[in-house]
Structure 1
Amino acid sequence: MNLTLFSSLDWLALAVFVASWLAYTLFADHSRWSDKSLTNRINVYRERWMMEMVTRDLRMIDTTILGNLMTGIAFFASTAMLILGGIIALLGNPTLVTQSIKHLPYAVDSSPVVWEFKVLLLALIFVYAFFKFAWAFRLTNYCNIMVGSAPVKEADPIKLEQHAKRATKLSCRAGHHFNRGLRAFFFGSAALAWMFHPLALMLASLVVVIVLYRREFSSTALLVLQD
């Protein structure tokens, strides 16, 4: 690939996109502020759920909830595959697509090589999302097995607590990977803006970061879940 086909504005836009994704991930998942996130708050309720689960006589409600979670994860995984199918179709006739896009207002004219790179970037993002959803689905399935293998409520309390903590860790890891998959969907939407203009990619990247921050750290849902 001839890298000189990319303008300096394209490289800047790509750098802003990657930096926005990495910076938000570090902030939301690995900084000292991550404890205040909606995901972290939900993890507290995941632990309460599993502690309640081991004290129940019948755990049908727990397996039903996990089944519903698996259905939601499977939906996003299949959606990622459908999106990938559409992205691959775009590679079939890059010249026709680029000719169509350049007639849109403010759209830049890209060579077929640059267009293919942009499409491949989109494909890479949604492949990543699919793998995250697939792993979240598998971990949730394992959590279902943990519910089924939980000792009876009359068992040793220490044993019950240990089992609940193991199930909690699996559930939290499933939520973590599901969250990463959703984040890829958001940034994949931002990457789509690059098809029109590098400035659109930069703007979309910043908008996605703001939206994700508001959802994760200052949403009404977070306030509701606080004790």
Structure 2
Amino acid sequence: MQATTSGDIAELSRRLLRPGLSVGRRIIGLTGPPGAGKTTVAELLGQHLGDQAAVVPMDGFHLANAIIDGTPLRERKGAIDTFDVGGYLSLLERLRRNDEDIVYAPAYRRGLEEPISASIAVPNSVEIVLTEGNYLLAKEGRWSKVRDCLDEVWFVETPQETRMDRLIQRHIASGMDAAAAEAWAHGPDEANARYIAATKPCADLVIQWA
């Protein structure tokens, strides 16, 4: 039976640190639909663990707007084929090997809505890498290799109404008007959410995050 827990950060931190999870660096994935709170959970865990941990978002591998503008991908930004899966896999493999003094990872800048290269420094002293993103449990194409790079994947879920409200407010904060924000949340975001929900049975842990 799939394990379920609340979003108690201290409890989740203890789970990360439990003996026997892996030898050497641990890489934990946090996945879930848009607006579920996976970024917040990852950041709170990173703060709780301090120098032991680093947070590396999958969103740093969004295709840049210069690539997708003027193509059908622009109307589906955030869908699985609007990310550089090869780049993300290469980063995870480097983080797993941990044979470099520092690995630099990209971040995603909300408001700008663009990835920013080499924005996150992960020294080789970091014991736990938390990577969060929508498609960590996807099985299509090269995405199926992502799970092999991770010790565990945790699925973050939150009530639908709360999640939709968060998404709409996020889009408004990024510059959309209210009507456009609601349309995007109920359109492309919701299509992605249905895809991601189908991967939930493959998660090692479900976090109920309100």
Short-chain TM bin: under 0.3
> Whose helix fraction is larger, Structure 1's or Structure 2's?
1
TM-score under structure 2 normalisation? Answer: 0.27
> Whose strand fraction is larger, Structure 1's or Structure 2's?
2
TM-score under structure 1 normalisation? Answer: 0.25
Greater Cα radius of gyration, structure 1 or 2: 1
